[in-house]
């Protein structure tokens, strides 16, 4: 019997030996990685230098330049800083800061691993860039006041924080932090913040005041109680409650603490004069979502900020206002001028007031005023888009009942049957009210928004009187809309910043504003041609002094509480608004000397003077020829647009009208040489309705064209809902006739 052979050696043991070798190899790698990690950590720690604490406040000045990129306009600088010792800071104030920013400050090692992990996870998930949250890390971060948000920066921050925590006491770190951190209001350090918010030294701060200063650290640009009292109060409560939970504040003291009163923010003298409005506007844009810089970065980042403001144009704006207005003028009179390059959307000039330190509300971007007849071109554009030709005719009779309400022209003057060119030049209310009825008020409103009005513009509604300018836009909104006209239908969002370079000279921002074609070129050519007639023979005839093709529209609101001229050439669009604010904040009738101010008086003179200087040396460009889109409707126009003799006669016949060569020097000391607007906005009962009379959309006061014709003022117009709606607007009659349509 054969002897059994020995079984072959099992192969199952080989994989086990191989597995053990792999584990041993991996274990070696882990050990090696740990050794290398420790070595790398130790090397990085050893090679990281701790900056001198004084360097942490060595912020660089950010400089704002005119459009040429070489002429400084002003600076944003972190100059407001005074060092104090930790002993000068009341203990409750110290604890308020700890409660707000780092409650484990005296226990941690200068860094927060959990905070770093949380920030890293947030960043990887696409959230906002975040860093460590300890006071030591924030103190270190203050040295890197730039736009750099790299992971290397965060790594450097980590090691510097570790070293600082080892090399100096916690009290020293807290002292340096409190002396270098930014509190808003251009205040760096807690002593400067105490003065900026409360007008007192840090030693005299109360618990509530300390809690507010600690609260604003989270968002200095937005948690100032003068900007957001509710947000500030919520954050102060968080700080005070944190102090209670940490045993640093008793329940009784907490019950008596809360949001303290603050003093008004003060402004640096660099904001004095008209240029202060420019700097404030630039700063707002820097902090907007479009650019996204923080207050700290702006004040200490060393940026080169090139604006769109043209130095020559800006000087022209200031000089035009100063030269054209009489030296003696009532307190509360406001003038707003803004100019936009229609091809880029850049604001080339802005007059927001005489002195930002005296009134820090920008008349051009923050105030509102009834637009008057500067609104009428929107209805004209809507009509052209619907195929209603410039040759279409309408009755210029006055008064007319439209939508159940009486509408009258200035002086109740009646025209014959006139086309839209004549109606635009003379701003005939009855024609435009009838035109608005036909195209629909909704279409007029939509056209205004597409041109540049914000959709939430005060008073911008879908009622038939909107054509008379019942909306109250910001003056810059009117300029924006007319810049769209000047660009032949292309809308480009206005802005004031062209580019930004960081402290190292690297370009970090270049303006690329939203831009799109919103109206057909043929429609714009016709609308522009109609608005040229306002300058050539209508209420804005003084603008012929510009000596180059121009188009525009006058505007005067009811009771002459606002007066406008908005106009443009192919290269530049600008508007001038004037309005009077009473001591109680209400708008009042504008009077300079014994005369009422209308759109055809001071506003058009300021506009012309400004444009002449701003465009000096530039080529004379012409507008496209009219296309006469659509089809003419209505009966043929009458041979003359002169008002019916049965109505009030104008103060001057065409032969007596002022020539375009009239200069500002020929005006009287109390205003332009023209006849004051005649009041004709008598209250008239609505047909079929008993009770109190209503104001008509027709108008009182009005534009007085430099051609000698009287322009319509805006009356208070009754809206379709029966309530009073200002029905500003109107225009001055051109050489062809006398009184023009109501409000301009």
Residue with tokens 């770190």: 173
Q: Are 601 and 584 in contact (CB under 8 A)?
A: no
DSSP string spanning 436-475?
A: HHHH-HHHHHHHHHHHT--TT-BT--SSGGGGGT--B--H
Contact 174, 86 (CB under 8 A): yes
Contacts of 277 (CB under 8 A, 6+ apart): 350, 351, 352, 353, 356, 362, 364
User: Residue 258, class by beta-carbon neighbours within 10 Å (0-12 exposed, 13-18 middle, 19+ buried)?
Assistant: middle
Are 622 and 549 contacting, i.e. CB atoms less than 8 angstroms apart? yes
Cα radius of gyration (the chain)? 34
CB 380 within 8 A of CB 523: no
Residue in this structure with the two tokens 């609101």, named with its chain if needed: 557
As a whole number of angstroms, the distance between CA 491 and CA 522 comes to 16
Q: Which residues pair with 726 in a beta bridge?
A: 716
Interior/surface letters 548-569, b for 16+ CB within 10 angstroms, e for the rest: bbbbbbbbbbbbbbbbbbbbbb
| Residue 268 phi, psi (nearest 5) | -65, 150
The residue annotated as part of the active site, out of 62, 101, 112, 398, is: 101
- 513 class by beta-carbon count within 10 Å (0-12 exposed, 13-18 middle, 19+ buried): middle
Answer yes or no: are the C-beta atoms of 708 and 656 closer than 8 Å: yes
DSSP 248: S
* Alpha carbons 690 and 677: distance in angstroms, whole number: 31
Distances (CA, A) of 230 to 226, 235, 275, 407: 10, 9, 32, 47
Residue with tokens 């003419």: 632
**What's the length of the chain?**
744
Phi, psi of 627 (to 5 degrees): -95, -20
Q: Give kind and range of the element (H or E) at residue 340.
A: strand 333-340
CA angle, corner 251, sides to 247 and 254, nearest 5?
A: 100
Question: What is the rounded distance in angstroms from the CA atom of residue 282 to the CA atom of residue 75?
Answer: 11
State the catalytic residue, choosing from 373, 465, 641, 657: 373
Dihedral angle over CA of 234, 237, 243, 246, nearest 10: -70
Helix, strand, or coil (residue 637) = coil
Question: Beta 80-81 vs 187-188: how paired, if at all?
Answer: parallel
Q: Is 535 left (phi over 0), alpha (psi -120 to 50) or beta?
A: alpha
Question: Which is nearest to 355 in space by CA: 389, 328, 321, 325?
Answer: 321
Annotated catalytic residue 373: yes
Residue 141: φ, ψ to 5°: -60, -30
Contact present, 414 and 398 (Cβ < 8 Å)? yes
Q: Are 322 and 518 in contact (CB under 8 A)?
A: no
Instruction: Name the 3-class secondary structure at 28.
Output: helix
Active site annotation includes 656: no
Q: How many CB atoms lie within 10 A of CB 162?
A: 21
- Decide: 343 and 101 in contact? Cβ < 8 Å: no
Q: Which residue has the tokens 């007192």?
A: 200
Active site residues: 101, 373
């Amino acid at each position: 019997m054969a002897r059994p052979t020995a079984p072959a050696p099992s192969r199952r043991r080989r994989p086990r030996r191989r597995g053990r070798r792999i584990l041993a190899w991996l274990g070696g790698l882990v050990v090696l990685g740990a050794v290398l990690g420790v070595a790398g950590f130790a090397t990085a720690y050893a090679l990281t230098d701790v900056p001198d604490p004084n360097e942490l406040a060595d912020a660089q000045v950010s400089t704002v330049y005119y459009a040429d990129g070489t002429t400084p306009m002003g600076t944003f600088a972190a100059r407001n800083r005074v060092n104090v010792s930790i002993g000068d800071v009341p203990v409750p104030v110290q604890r308020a800061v700890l409660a707000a920013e780092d409650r484990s400050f005296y226990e941690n090692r200068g860094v927060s691993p959990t905070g770093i992990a949380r920030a890293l996870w947030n960043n990887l998930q696409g959230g906002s860039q975040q860093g460590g949250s300890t006071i030591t890390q924030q103190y270190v971060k203050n040295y890197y006041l730039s736009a750099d948000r790299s992971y290397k920066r965060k790594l450097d921050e980590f090691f510097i924080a570790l070293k600082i925590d080892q090399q100096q006491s916690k009290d020293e770190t807290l002292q340096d932090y409190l002396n270098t951190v930014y509190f808003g209001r251009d205040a760096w350090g807690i002593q400067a913040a105490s003065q900026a918010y409360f007008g007192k030294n840090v030693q005299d701060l109360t618990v509530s005041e300390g809690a507010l200063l600690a609260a604003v650290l989270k968002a200095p640009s937005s948690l100032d109680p003068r900007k957001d009292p509710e947000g500030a109060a919520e954050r102060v409560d968080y700080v005070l409650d944190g102090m209670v939970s940490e045993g640093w504040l008793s329940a009784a003291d907490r019950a008596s603490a809360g949001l303290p009163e603050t003093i008004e923010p003060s402004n640096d003298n660099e904001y004095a004069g008209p240029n202060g409005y420019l700097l404030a506007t630039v700063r707002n844009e820097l902090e907007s979502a479009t650019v996204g810089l923080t207050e700290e970065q702006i004040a200490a980042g060393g940026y080169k900020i090139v604006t769109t403001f043209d130095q020559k144009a800006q000087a022209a704006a200031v000089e035009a206002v100063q030269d054209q207005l009489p030296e003696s003028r009532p307190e509360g009179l406001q003038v707003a001028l803004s100019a936009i390059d229609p091809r880029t959307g850049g604001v080339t000039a802005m007059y927001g007031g005489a002195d930002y330190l005296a009134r820090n509300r920008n008349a051009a971007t923050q105030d509102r005023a009834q637009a008057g007849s500067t609104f009428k071109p929107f209805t004209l554009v809507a009509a052209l888009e619907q195929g209603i030709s410039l040759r279409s005719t309408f009755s210029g009779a006055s008064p007319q009942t439209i939508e159940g309400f009486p509408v009258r022209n200035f002086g109740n003057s009646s025209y014959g049957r006139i086309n839209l060119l004549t109606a635009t030049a003379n701003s005939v209310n009855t024609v435009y009210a009838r035109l608005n009825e036909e195209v629909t008020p909704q279409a007029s409103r939509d056209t205004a928004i597409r041109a540049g009005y914000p959709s939430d513009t005060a008073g911008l509604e879908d009622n038939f009187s909107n054509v008379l300018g019942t909306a109250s836009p910001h003056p810059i909104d009117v300029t924006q809309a007319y810049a769209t006209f000047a660009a032949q239908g292309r809308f480009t969002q206005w802005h004031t910043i062209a580019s930004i370079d960081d402290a190292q000279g690297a370009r970090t921002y270049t303006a690329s504003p939203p831009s799109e074609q919103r109206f057909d070129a043929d429609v714009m050519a016709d609308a522009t041609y109609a608005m040229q007639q306002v300058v050539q023979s209508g209420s804005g005839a003084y603008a012929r002094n510009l000596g180059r093709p121009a188009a525009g529209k006058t505007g005067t609101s009811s009771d002459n509480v606002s007066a406008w001229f908005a106009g443009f050439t192919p290269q530049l669009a600008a508007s001038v608004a004037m309005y009077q604010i009473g001591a109680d904040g209400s708008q009042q009738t504008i009077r300079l000397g014994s005369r009422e101010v209308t759109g055809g008086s001071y506003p058009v003179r300021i506009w012309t003077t400004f444009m002449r200087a701003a465009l000096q040396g530039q080529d004379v460009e012409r507008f496209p020829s009219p296309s006469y889109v659509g089809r003419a409707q209505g009966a043929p126009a009458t041979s003359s647009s002169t008002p019916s003799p049965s109505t009030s006669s104008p103060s001057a016949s065409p032969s007596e009208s002022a020539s375009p060569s009239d200069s500002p020097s020929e005006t009287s000391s109390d205003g332009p040489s023209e006849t004051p607007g005649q009041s004709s906005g008598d209250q008239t009962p609505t047909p079929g309705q008993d009770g109190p009379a209503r104001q008509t959309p027709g108008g009182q006061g009005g534009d007085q064209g430099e051609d000698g014709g009287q322009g319509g003022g805006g009356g208070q117009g009754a809206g379709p809902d029966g309530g009073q709606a200002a029905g500003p607007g109107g225009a001055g009659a051109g050489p062809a006739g006398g009184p023009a349509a109501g409000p301009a």
